[in-house]
Chain A
Amino acid sequence: MFERFTKDARAVVLGAVGHSERMGAETVEEQHLLLSLLDREGSRASFALASLGLDRHKESVTEALAQARRRGGLSRADADALSGLGLDLSEIVSRIEEAHGVGALESEGKAKGRGKGWWSGFLGGHRPFTRGAKDLLTESLRIALAQHDRHIGDEHLLLALTARPGVPAEVLADHGVTYASLRRVLYGGGEAKAS
């Protein structure tokens, strides 16, 4: 399906690999795709993000992603769920950091992807995509098809990020970027409830 990707979408995927490399991660994750989307200029996704004011808050997004990594990649929704069990995630993180150093829970993303992902052929790399990142790409295809778009653009990747639960969607929502708000700026507000 990679042949359906627009130039911008391919750039996002390749950029994500770069982010993963620079961060010393073993795999390419959804957060790397988000970071790569933030790098884009003059694309459909960057237009949508700017319309929602995110172009002025990129650092805040980057910071929120870093905090989530420190929590072992768990989202706030995860933390809430754990607190329902009487477990205080921030307490656990601080105990682990006391014993093993700050950032001990970071970058433990161990071999969640398989050795050679289907993207590695195109990308020519050995850096596997996590299951979540692969699912995201599949989701972007589904969204493009539902929209009767022939190509998968970076806006579909962005929509897919907001459509799936997890840290990226949560961080984006905290900055006013949701599936609904994106659809509104990308496709017009007709069908969504006008406010």
Chain B
Amino acid sequence: MTEATDLAERAGDRDPRIGLRAVSALRRLLEQLEAVQVRSARNQGWSWQEIAAELGVSRQAVHKKYGRQ
């Protein structure tokens, strides 16, 4: 877990702007990655339930976010 600790420390770097920008960039990247993975899982026939279980969220949450595709 040293890597995660290192990450956390750097994210809280002295200049708040640097840390905040990193968090914001990470969040946007995360959204993109999630969309890619969910789409891929759906293409492979995964159910919303299965996807939700892997993501650790409710089935409704995943379906609401990606279901209209």
Chain A residues, CB < 8 A from B35: 108, 110
Interface residues of B in 20-38 (CB under 8 A from A): 21-22, 24-26, 28-29, 31-33, 35-36
Interface string of A10-31 (1 = CB under 8 A from B): 0000000000000000000000
CB distance from B67 to the nearest CB of A (A): 11
Cα–Cα, bound, A100→B44 (Å): 12
Known: A84-B10, A110-B66. A73 touches B40 (CB 8 A): no
Q: Min CB distance, B11 to chain A, in Å?
A: 6
Are the C-beta atoms of A100 and B36 separated by less than 8 Å?
yes
Residues A85 and B26 in contact, CB atoms below 8 Å apart: yes
* CA of A158 to CA of B25, assembled, Å: 24
Residue of A nearest to B25 (CB): A78
Tell yes or no: A77 within 8 A of B by CB.
yes
| Chain A residue at smallest Cβ distance from B11 | A85
**How many residues in A have their beta carbons less than 8 Å from beta carbons of B?**
22
CB contact between B22 and one of A73, A84, A100 (< 8 Å): that residue: A84
Let me know if B18 and A89 touch, CB within 8 A: no
A85–B40 Cα distance when bound, in Å, is 27
- Residue from B13, B33, B65 within 8 A of A110 (CB atoms): B65
A78 / chain B contacts, CB cutoff of 8 Å: 21, 24-25, 28-29
A-B contact count (CB 8 A): 59
Asked whether A104 is an interface residue with its Cβ less than 8 Å from the other chain, the reply is yes
Q: Other than the known A74-B28, A82-B29, what 14 A-B pairs have Cβ atoms closer than 8 Å? A: A78-B21, A78-B25, A78-B28, A82-B25, A84-B13, A84-B22, A85-B7, A86-B3, A92-B29, A96-B33, A99-B40, A108-B31, A108-B32, A110-B66
Q: Is the CB of B31 within 8 A of A110?
A: yes
Contact partners of B21 in chain A: CB under 8 A: 77-78, 81
Closest Cβ–Cβ distance, residue B43 to chain A (whole Å): 10
Q: Check if A100 sits within 8 Å of B7, measured CB to CB.
A: no
Chain B: CB-nearest residue to A99: B40
B54 sits at the interface (CB 8 A)? no
Q: A105-B36, A110-B65, A111-B65 are in contact. Are A81 and B18 (CB under 8 A)?
A: yes
Q: Is the CB of B28 within 8 A of A72?
A: yes
Q: What is the bound-complex CA distance between A78 and B22, given in angstroms?
A: 7
Listed A/B pairs (11) with beta-carbon separation below 8 Å: A72-B29, A73-B32, A78-B25, A79-B25, A81-B22, A84-B22, A85-B7, A85-B22, A86-B7, A100-B40, A111-B65
